[in-house]
Amino acid sequence: MKSRRNNWRSARIFLAVIAFTLLLASLFMGRRFRWAFLTQVGSDIPALLGNFSIGVLVAVIGVLLMTLVFGRLYCSVLCPLGVFQDILGHFHRKGAFRNTPWKRKIRGPVFCVVLVAALFGMMLPLTLLMPSANFVIICNTVIRGTVQWLFGATGLLPEPITLRPMPAVQVTGWVMTLGLLALNQWRGRVFCNTLCPVGALLSLFARKSYYRVSIDQSKCVHCGACEHLCKAGCIDAQAGIVRNDECVKCLNCLSVCPKGALTLGHPAKAAQPLDANRRAFLANGGAVVAGAAVGLTHKVVARPEAEIPPIMPPGAGTLERFTSRCVGCGICIGACRGKVLKASVTEYGLRGFMQPVLDPYRGACDFNCHACSKVCPCGALTPLSKTVKQTTRIGLAHWDPSLCVAFVDEEACGACAEHCPVGALTMEEVPGQEVRVPQVNPSLCIGCGACQNICPVRPQAAIVVHGVETQCRVEPPKAEESNIKLRAEEEFPF
């Protein structure tokens, strides 16, 4: 099949490459490119509810306006998972797709379930289906892992980039990638028109967009070339209809039509009518109820109340607030300088699978770093200034003398006190002990985990940090005068 170049399509690809590169940069190069993630409406909308800001509002309105004008161009240009699928689909044998009307029956109910469950504080369905979150998860597991595996030994990487995810998280990443690849080979962008909540949302706005792809009935010979090429499965060649709510504006079809019957423009004809029948209404209504039910299950699959709370990243606020707002994408994990954050498995209960948690055995929260709270795209972490972060308690250190080298073996150690950035841990003399032992001042401890991380005792450290249910500010350490009077005036005391 001859394919002529189409300028619209070239422009779409050009924009997609730029956007995709910037999004990758925002994941791998930290805070410098974090604004690129503002384009992701999937995480912007929860951010509007969690941490309102004008920037996010403008971004959301911008995307919706763009959808009203150009349809779901977002899905082909700004959505990283969409572009990722296009890259995967590049190897697909061309011309094997077909119009798939059944996907319309799935999209609405799935959207309702995910949305209502999220409103009830159960974020897991959103974590597993939201495209930007999925893309970050794939990046953090599959892409980072593969690049490390391929180039780790060559010395081309300045630093290791793998995040050492837990096995369950690694498997989830691979299932997402391979599942997406399989769906893509089978029916192109079928994920985007069935399971994707962002696609479902935008399809509501795209139905009557100003610019649409339409078929000129006077030229069309119903050959089906466009329908077979359409990865979104939105063209019915027999009826000569392009479903604009499903069209992702890849514009591949424009150049494939042998008669030049497909055009992008503002058609005089009205958009196709909404298929609002009783069955669809019932399905969506049922889905809302189902979503509520899923949402309420988090009470069942939550972690047991009696357990020690997990350590949440700074800016999380309370456990309930955080777990019901975080979409578990893991951008913060990639940005973590202290390499202490990891995607949780059961720490928050099943409900919080993939949500970030601090594991001081892996690293320590870097005292001068507040990247996680700054990069969080969905408002689960409130952005904290460096000074506020340095005085925000995310946990509390607990000393177990029965494991401590200094207490049991009476060997001078003090590794924990050395590393404490706030002076909450000091080595103090106690009666009956030959060497000084650690003492925690709970009024100063912020729970960064530096002590637990450096403690030489393993498998269980002698000093461990417990998370707190509610993060709060600690009193900044009072400036006190030194009790050691130095005689700098006295010359040479030796």
Partner 1 sequence: MDRRDFLKTGAALALLGAASKVIGQVQVDKAETAATNLSAEGMPDIVAVRGGSPVDMFDRAIAELGGMDKFVKKGQVVTVKPNIAWDQPPKMAANTNPDLIARIVKACFEAGASKVQVFDTPCNSWKQTYKNSGIAEAAEKAGATVVGGDAAKDEQYIREYYAEVPVPKGRLLQKVMQHKFIRECDVLINVPILKVHGGATMTCCMKNLMGTVSKEYHQLFHRLGLTRCIAENASVRPPDLNIVDAYRVMTKRGPRGVDETDVKELGYLLAGRDMVALDTASAKLMQLPIRSIKYLEEGIDLGLGTTSLEALNIKRVTL
Determine if 333 is a binding residue for partner 1 (CB under 8 A): no
Site string for partner 1, 463-482 (x = CB under 8 A): --------------x-xxxx
Q: From the CB of 236, what's the least distance to partner 1, in Å?
A: 55
Of the pair 159, 305, the CB lying nearest partner 1 is at: 159
339 vs 159, 345, 364, 374, 412, CA distance in Å?
13, 17, 7, 16, 28
Q: Closer to partner 1 at the Cβ: 218 or 482?
A: 482
Closest CB 429 distance from partner 1, rounded Å: 11
Residue 313 binding partner 1, by CB under 8 A: no
Give, as ranges, the residues between 388 and 407 that touch partner 1 (CB under 8 A): 405
- Scanning 188-196, 232-240, 243-251, 486-494 for contacts with partner 1 by CB under 8 A, the matching segment is 486-494
| 324 contacts 123 by C-beta, under 8 angstroms | yes
Decide whether 275 or 418 has the Cβ nearer to partner 1: 418
Per CB under 8 A, does 334 bind partner 1? no
Kindly tell me which of 91 and 494 has the beta carbon lying closer to partner 1.
Answer: 494
Cβ at position 401, least distance to partner 1 in Å: 16
CB 445 within 8 A of CB 474: yes
3-state SS string for the chain: CCCCCCHHHHHHHHHHHHHHHHHHHHHHCHHHHHHHHHHCHHHHHHHHHHCCCHHHHHHHHHHHHHHHHHCCHHHHHCCHHHHHHHHHHCCCCCCCCCCCCCHHHHHHHHHHHHHHHHHCCCCHHHHHHCHHHHHHHHHHHHHHHHHHHHHHHHCCCCCCCCCCCCHHHHHHHHHHHHHHHHHHHHHCCHHHHHCCHHHHHHHHHHCCCCCEEEECCCCCCCCCHHHHHCCCCCEECCCCEECCCCCCCCCCHHHCCCCCCEEEECCCCCCCCCCCCHHHHHHHHHHHHHHHHHHHCHHHHECCCCCCCCCCCCCCCEHHHHHCCCCCCCHHHHHCCCCCEEECCCCCEHHHCCCEEECCCCCCCCCCCCHHHHHCCCCCCCCCCHHHHHCEEEEEEEECHHHCHHHHHCCCCCHHHHHCCCCCEEEECCCCCCCCEEEECCCCCCCCCHHHHHCCCCCCCCEEEEEEEEEEECCCCCCCCCCCCCCCCCCCCC
Tell me if 161 sits within 8 A of 69, measured CB to CB. Answer: no
Residue 216 token pair: 């000129």
Residue 314 C-beta: closest distance to partner 1, Å: 16
Site string for partner 1, 126-165 (x = CB under 8 A): --------------------------xx-x-x-xx-----
Binding piece for partner 1, criterion CB under 8 A, among 60-68, 139-147, 244-252, 452-460: 452-460
Residue 90 or 485 with smaller CB distance to partner 1: 485
- Single-letter code of the amino acid located at 77: V
Residue 166 in contact with partner 1, rule: CB under 8 A: no
Q: Which residue, 261 or 448, is less far from partner 1 as judged by CB? A: 448
Tell me: does residue 420 bind partner 1 (CB under 8 A). yes
Closer residue to partner 1, CB minimum distance, 157 or 350: 157
| Contact call for residues 298 and 122 (beta carbons, < 8 A) | yes
Instruction: Note whether 491 binds partner 1 by CB under 8 A.
Output: yes
- Residue 75, interface with partner 1 (CB under 8 A)? no
Q: Does 306 bind partner 1 (CB under 8 A)?
A: no
Between 307 and 434, whose beta carbon lies closer to partner 1?
A: 434
**Does 228 engage in binding with partner 1 (CB under 8 A)?**
no
Of the candidates 95, 366, 391, 403, which one interacts with partner 1 according to CB under 8 A? 366
Work out whether 32 is an interface residue with partner 1 (CB under 8 A). Answer: no
Q: In the structure encoding, which two tokens stand for residue 271, read together?
A: 């958009």
**124 or 413, CB closer to partner 1?**
413
Does 414 sit near partner 1 (CB under 8 A)? yes
Name which position in 75, 369, 371, 445 contacts partner 1 (CB under 8 A): 369
* Residue 427: CB minimum distance to partner 1, A: 5
Q: How many CB atoms lie within 10 A of CB 476?
A: 11
- Please report whether residue 454 would count as binding partner 1 according to CB under 8 A: yes
Nearer to partner 1, 298 or 370 (CB): 370
Residues 179-198 that bind partner 1 (CB under 8 A): none
Between 10 and 368, CB nearer to partner 1: 368
Residues that bind partner 1 (CB under 8 A): 152-153, 155, 157, 159-160, 337-339, 363, 366-369, 405, 409, 411-415, 417-423, 425-427, 454, 456-457, 477, 479-484, 486-488, 491-494
